[in-house]
Amino acid sequence: MKRYILLNPGPVNVSPRVQQALLRGDLCHREEEFSDLLVAIRTKLLRAFVPRDYTAVPVSGSGTLAVEAMVSSAMPEGRKLLVINNGVYGERMLHMAEAHRIPTVELRYNWTERPDLSQIESTLQADSTIHAVALVHHETTTGLLNLVNEVGAITRRAGRWLLLDAVSALASEELDMVRDGIDLCACTANKCIQGLPGVSFVLVSNAAMVAMQQYPQRSLYLHLPLHWEAQERRSIPFTPSVQAWYALDEALDELLEETVAKRIQRYHAAAHLLRDGFARLGLKSLLPPDLQSHSLTSLLLPEGMTYPLLHDGLKERGFVIYEGQGKLQTGVFRVANMGHLTLDDFRQFLTALEAILS
Ligand SMILES: Cc1ncc(COP(=O)(O)O)c(C=O)c1O
């Protein structure tokens, strides 16, 4: 089968070692070997991202499942969730809260703007029934990086929880869960962690997990305390995607060997190389540099070029790019730099891009 270099924001290219992990063999999830795998993954997640005072809850399913488990589990009865909405994924958290009949307050911003910090602060001051703030770290819609540290300082001062969708940010952007005051953080295996689709996870502060045990159970499948209680007994409530968990286990070994700090540096170097190349080719970014994440660039389609033409030409040459999303579907295309790729892969992509644009 032809190997494509995936420049979409997940699922990403993984290493041969992670692919090989799929072949560890068939396994019943009620056997000791699965319990060992579960414990290994939970331990490695904490070692990589937050060694103290937190617990890790892996769940089978895509990133959306982890985010919805976070949103639906972290809210006491009758209290509100303040959702910061500056992209598709902020909007999705709002819809999740609504689906679970959780009262919400929305602060909506332009997709190319960061949220107004003083407005978040005054909204929390004015409404004591707001229990938590939901924020997306990296809005993959555009590649905009939200300032978790600043929002975390506000939520901490106000004594509210911070729920973070870090699905496309964890392991590519700097994040200190304790310093930034993050109570719950949802992520997936198949983006910057460089595992395969089918497993995701939520990191939860121990204090939040204790509190959440008293909160309403809005869903059987998504209730995090239910998963956590079973996992603490080396078990899980439902059938997991075992092979995806094998791949995550291997991907976490790779991450710990590379170190999170070096993974972040590698992604930053790739983003810089790509952005220098885009500028050389006369392509314009949707966002100014100070708003951009380090794992995805949204670019304006040049005059006279259509997305299908660009996409198909690149795919013929072995590269898969991604179209714009939502109201940016036309006129914008996206290039991610996530996954098991080298700077040489990105140089070859720029050469192919140049050939098509000229
Ligand atoms: C920030 C963010 N949140 C949530 C999701 C949803 O993840 P999934 O498509 O794995 O369900 C994505 C997917 O791209 C994302 O980028």
Q: What is the pLDDT of residues 108-139, one digit of tens each?
A: 999 999 999 999 999 999 999 999 999 999 99
Query: Which 3 state secondary structure label does DSSP give 302?
Result: coil
* Separation CA 128–CA 160 (nearest Å): 9
pTM for the full model? 0.98
Same domain, 144 and 265: no
Mutation probe of ligand 1 site: the residue of 167, 172, 248 with most atoms within 8 A of C-beta: 167
The residue type at 84: I
Q: What is the DSSP letter of 53?
A: S
Assess whether pLDDT exceeds 90 at residue 329: no
Q: How many CA atoms lie within 13 A of 341 on its CB side?
A: 33
How many structural domains is the chain composed of? 2
Residue 250's pLDDT band, with cuts at 50, 70 and 90, is very high
* Whole-Å CA distances, 287 to 48, 76, 269: 30, 37, 18
Assess whether pLDDT exceeds 90 at residue 328: no
**Does the CB atom of residue 292 touch ligand 1 within 6 A?**
no
* Separation CA 43–CA 58 (nearest Å): 11
**Does the CB atom of residue 61 touch ligand 1 within 6 A?**
no
Nearest residue (by CA) to ligand 1, atom 8, is: 63
Q: Which two tokens stand for residue 272?
A: 């810089």
**Does the CB atom of residue 165 touch ligand 1 within 6 A?**
yes
Same domain, 132 and 247: yes
**Does the CB atom of residue 112 touch ligand 1 within 6 A?**
no
Nearest residue (by CA) to ligand 1, atom 7, is: 63
Same domain, 250 and 330: no
**Does the CB atom of residue 64 touch ligand 1 within 6 A?**
yes
pLDDT of 51 reads: 85
Mean pLDDT to the nearest integer, 269-277: 98
Same domain, 113 and 250: yes
Asked if residue 59 lies in contact with residue 199, where contact means CB atoms within 8 angstroms, the answer is: yes
Q: Going by C-beta distance under 8 Å and a sequence separation of 6 or more, which residues neighbour residue 344?
A: none
pLDDT of 258 reads: 98
Same domain, 286 and 335: yes
Q: Which atom of ligand 1 is nearest to the CA of 10?
A: 14
Q: What is the pLDDT of residues 5-22, one digit of tens each?
A: 999 999 999 999 999 999
Q: What residue has token string 């399913």?
A: 61
Residue 353's φ and ψ, nearest 5 degrees, are -60, -45
Residue 326's pLDDT band, with cuts at 50, 70 and 90, is confident
Q: Please give the residue range of the domain that contains residue 150.
A: 17-257
Gyration radius of the chain's alpha carbons:
20
Q: What residue has token string 């220098």?
A: 276
* Separation CA 55–CA 184 (nearest Å): 10
pLDDT of 340 reads: 98
Same domain, 172 and 297: no
* Separation CA 125–CA 49 (nearest Å): 31
Same domain, 159 and 79: yes
Same domain, 49 and 125: yes
Q: What is the pLDDT of residues 35-86, one digit of tens each?
A: 999 999 999 999 999 989 999 999 999 999 999 999 999 999 999 999 999 9
Same domain, 108 and 158: yes
Exposure string over 266-298, b if 16+ CB within 10 A, otherwise e: bbbebbebbbebbeeeebebbbeeebbbbbbbb
Asked if residue 10 lies in contact with residue 138, where contact means CB atoms within 8 angstroms, the answer is: no
Same domain, 204 and 232: yes
**Per-state percent for the chain, helix, strand, coil, to nearest 5:** 45, 20, 40
Q: What is the pLDDT of residues 280-316, one digit of tens each?
A: 999 999 999 999 999 999 999 999 999 999 999 999 9
Query: Percent of the chain at pLDDT above 90?
Result: 97
Exposure string over 80-92, b if 16+ CB within 10 A, otherwise e: bbbbbbbbbbbbb
| CB-count burial class (<10 Å; 0-12, 13-18, 19+) for 208 | buried
Helices (runs of H) and strands (runs of E) counted in the chain: 12, 14
Q: What residue has token string 């714009």?
A: 324
CATH of the domain at 299: 3.90.1150.10
Q: Which atom of ligand 1 is nearest to the CA of 67?
A: 4
Angle at 155 between CA 151 and CA 156, to 5 degrees: 115
Of 257, 272, 297, which residue is a domain's last?
257
Same domain, 297 and 226: no
CATH of the domain at 114: 3.40.640.10
Same domain, 183 and 306: no
Q: Is 244 left (phi over 0), alpha (psi -120 to 50) or beta?
A: alpha
Q: How far is the CA of 93 from the centre of ligand 1 (A)?
A: 11
Strand partners, 323: 333
Of 217, 241, 257, which residue is a domain's last?
257
Of 257, 276, 296, which residue is a domain's last?
257
Q: Is the peptide bond before 11 cis (omega within 30 degrees of 0)?
A: yes
DSSP 239-288: ---HHHHHHHHHHHHHHHHH-HHHHHHHHHHHHHHHHHHHHHTT--BSS-
Assess whether pLDDT exceeds 90 at residue 330: no
Mean pLDDT to the nearest integer, 339-354: 98
**Does the CB atom of residue 168 touch ligand 1 within 6 A?**
yes
Q: Which atom of ligand 1 is nearest to the CA of 138?
A: 1
Strands 322-323 vs 332-336: parallel, antiparallel or unpaired: antiparallel
